[in-house]
Amino acid sequence: MADNMVKQMIDVMSKSGWRITEQRRMLAEIFSKSEGYLSPKDVYDQMSVSYPSVSFDTVYRNLRLLSEMGALEQFYFMDGGLKFRGSCSNHHHHHLICINCEKTLTFEYCPMEQKLELPGDFKIVNHRFEVYGICESCQQEAASAN
C-alpha cells in the first residue's frame, strides 16, 4: 500500500511535468508512511532532517501544488489549520472527520448526486464534501470521563 502511494504520487508529478528529485521522492514517502493528516510544519520537520537547507516556503509550495495536481488532499481543521494527506484517487467518496482525534471514515453516498437547483446556470466541475464531528471512540471516551 505505501509503495503504491509513492508510485501514484510520483506518477502524478511526472505527468504534471515535474522532475523527480530525491526531495520530491521523500515527500511522497512521508505521506505514504503517515496514517493521518500532516500539517506543512510536520512535513517540513521531517524533510529538514535529511535536507537541512530546505525552506518552509519550498515545502509549503510543493504541498499546495501536489494538492492542485490531485496527489494530495487538503483539509482545514478549525483548531489545527491546513493539513494534507495522500489522495484517495481510486474512486469517488467523501469523508467524515473527527475534530478530536482526526480519524477519518469514508462514505460512498454523494449528496451531489441529488438534483440541485443552482443559481445562475452554474456548472459544477469538481466538488469535495467533508463532514466534521466527533467519532464514536471519542464520544465514548468523553462519556466515561464524566
Q: Which residues are annotated as a binding site for Fe cation?
A: 92, 113, 127
Using the CB atoms, write b or e for 28-54: b if 16+ within 10 Å: bbbbbebeebbebebbbebbeeeeeeb
Annotated binding site for Zn(2+): 98, 101, 135, 138
Whose cell is 515545502? That residue is 59
For residues 44 and 29, give the distance between their C-alpha atoms in angstroms, rounded to a whole number.
13
For residues 55 and 68, give the distance between their C-alpha atoms in angstroms, rounded to a whole number.
20
Annotated binding site: 92, 98, 101, 113, 127, 135, 138
Give the number of other CB atoms < 10 A from CB of residue 87: 19
The vertex-123 CA angle with 120 and 124, nearest 5°, equals 130
